[in-house]
Amino acid sequence: MKYVDEYRDPQIAAAIAERVARKVTRPWVLMEVCGGQTHTLMRYGIDELLPKQIELVHGPGCPVCVTPLELVDRAIRIASLDGVIFTSYGDMLRVPGSQADLFEAKAQGADVRIVYSPLDAVKIARQNPDRRVVFFAVGFETTAPANAMAVWQVKREGLTNFSMIVAHVLVPPAMRLILESPQNRVQGFIGPGHVCTVMGFEEYEVLAKEFHVPIVVGGFEPLDLLEAIGMLVAQLEEGRAEVENQYSRSVSYQGNVPAQQVMREVFEVSDRKWRGIGSIEASGFRLREEYAAFDAELVFGLEDLHAEEPKECISALVLQGLKKPMDCPAFGVRCTPTMPLGAPMVSTEGACAAYYQYRRHA
Ligand code: SF4
Residue 362 has what pLDDT?
53
3-state SS, residue 230: helix
Q: Tell which one of 66, 95, 317, 335 to mutate to probe ligand 1, the residue whose CB is within 8 A of the most ligand atoms.
A: 335
The angle that helices 144-157 and 118-127 make with each other, rounded to 10 degrees, is: 20
Give percent of the chain above pLDDT 70.
Answer: 98
Cα dihedral across residues 274, 279, 280, 282: positive or negative: positive
User: Which residue would you say has higher pLDDT here, 337 or 362?
Assistant: 337
- Mean pLDDT for 265-294 is 95
pLDDT score of 303? 64
pLDDT tens digits for range 18-46: 999 999 999 999 999 999 999 999 999 99
* Contact of 84 with 78, CB cutoff 8 Å: yes
Burial class (CB in 10 A: 0-12, 13-18, 19+), 361: middle
The C-alpha atoms of residue 135 and residue 164 are separated, in whole angstroms, by 5
Residue 331 C-alpha to ligand 1 middle, in angstroms?
Answer: 6
**Separation between Cα atoms, residue 266 and residue 148, nearest integer Å:** 6
Give the sign of the dihedral formed by CA 267, CA 116, CA 218, CA 250: negative
Q: Are 86 and 134 in contact (CB under 8 A)?
A: yes
pTM: 0.93
Residue 314 has pLDDT above 70, yes or no: yes
Q: Which atom of ligand 1 is nearest to the CA of 314?
A: 5
Q: For residue range 45-96, what is the model confidence (pLDDT) as tens digits?
A: 999 999 999 999 999 999 989 998 899 999 999 999 999 999 999 889 988 8
User: Which pLDDT tens digit goes with each residue over 191-249?
Assistant: 999 999 999 999 999 999 999 999 999 999 999 999 999 999 999 999 999 999 999 99
Residue nearest to atom 3 of ligand 1 (CA): 313
pLDDT at residue 3, rounded to an integer: 73
Residue 304 has pLDDT above 80, yes or no: no
Q: How many helices (H) and strands (E) does the chain have?
A: 16, 11
Q: How confident is the model at residue 276 (pLDDT cuts 50, 70, 90)?
A: confident
Cα–chain center distance at 316: 13
Find the 253 Cα to ligand 1 centroid distance in Å: 36
At 31, the amino acid letter reads M
Backbone angles phi, psi at 214, to 5 degrees: -75, 140
Average pLDDT over residues 129-150: 97
Question: Has residue 153 got a pLDDT over 90?
Answer: yes
Our answer on whether the CB atom of 331 is closer than 6 Å to any ligand 1 atom is yes
Per-residue pLDDT of 103-138, as tens digits, reads 999 999 999 999 999 999 999 999 999 999 999 999
Distances (CA, A) of 256 to 47, 166, 184, 361: 32, 21, 32, 40
On whether the CB atoms of residues 169 and 283 are closer than 8 A, the answer is: yes
Distance from the alpha carbon of residue 359 to the mean position of ligand 1, in angstroms: 15
- CA 125-131-136 angle, to 5 degrees, is 60
**Secondary structure (3-state) at 324:** coil
